[in-house]
Amino acid sequence: MKVAVVGATGLVGSKMLEVLTQRNFPVTTLIPVASEKSVGKKITWNNINWEVVSMQTAIEMKPDVALFSAGGGTSIEWAERFAEVGCVVIDNSSAWRMDPNKKLVVPEINGDSITVDDKIIANPNCSTIQMVMVLKPLHDLYKIKRVVVSTYQSVTGTGVAAVDQMMNERAGVPGPMAYRYPIDLNLIPQIDVFTENGYTKEEMKMINETKKIMGDDSIEVSATAVRVPVIGGHSESVNIEFEREPSLEEIRSVLANTEGVEVLDNPQNFEYPMPSIHAHESDLVFVGRLRKDFSQPKTINCWIVSDNLRKGAATNAVQIAEKLLNRGILKA
């Protein structure tokens, strides 16, 4: 199988290569794709040196599947060209997520909706993925009316430049700024640009993508997204209102039996999910701090943590490719 990784030299692209190896995805030929300045360079993957190629060269090689992580503009310009040669594109940007003709997929939730006609499949926003992994089984149980979420998002969600900025600040070394403000010893309550309604694009992604993935436009979502000086994963404080009174015991049981979710909820022993301690380099979504909201009925609070580069991006994309294999849409 020919597998192209578009944006292979970036943070998420590099993680995709790592996940492909770890999950033993059946790659016969790897096609690493990057910007023109990286074309001709070599990357080592599975102990073999592979040459980085251009977009056009990759298309001419006719990959079976392409994992895109090179930004929305690149996806809009090139994804359909890959699809035209029979390649299935799994795109990690926001370019196609809200396109009514494209599937927005978290494999554990709606992976079985993929068909042979889906040539461009959207990978959801990292903060949305980890939240809906917890919301969906609870929605099936009690039907969710409203979600209020505040995120605490790792600098790795911005990229290498943001990690470098934080580390430079921590070391007291001047350097380029990925953010408008310092991030070390600070919080920035802005992720992506502001829209006319006062919410950022990141916050609106969580609102709109949650409804699409869950298949229910009646779910009301309010989001506040915050960048924090953390490496290892995103964290979320989530308040969930249901149509009927929930049972914490039943919720813990259902979540404990949900594929890809791990309940870590033992506050008496100071056990709760943390990004750098539990989520980092894990493909699981961790949930804890489960408790009733005493301010209104039929409502709970919880804390959700996951590695944004893995389940929030690279792993989810590879899992979509695995679903394509399992459904016979891709042939190994």
> Which residues belong to the active site?
126, 234
Query: Which of helix, strand or coil describes residue 151?
Result: strand
DSSP state of 150: E
Given the structure tokens 């980085």, which residue do they identify? Answer: 52
Alpha carbon distance 276, 283 (integer Å): 13
SS3 41: coil
CA distances (Å), 229 to each of 163, 267, 311, in order? 9, 24, 20
Name the residue among 185, 67, 47 with its Cα closest to residue 120.
67
Secondary structure class of 330 (helix, strand, coil): coil
Three-state secondary structure along 169-216?
HHHCCCCCCCCCCCCCCCCECCCCCECCCCCEHHHHHHHHHHHHHHCC
Pairwise CA distance, residues 148 & 220, whole Å: 8
Give the span between the Cα atoms of 284 and 295, in whole angstroms. Answer: 31
Helix (H, G, I), strand (E, B) or coil at 295: coil
One-letter amino acid for residue 86 of the chain: G
Among residues 243, 239, 244, the alpha carbon closest in space to that of 222 is found at 239
Phi, psi of 110 (to 5 degrees): -135, 25
CB within 8 Å of 258: residues ≥ 6 apart: 108, 133, 134, 137
Which among 317, 323, 319 is positioned nearest to 125, based on CA atoms?
Answer: 317
State which amino acid sits at residue 80. E
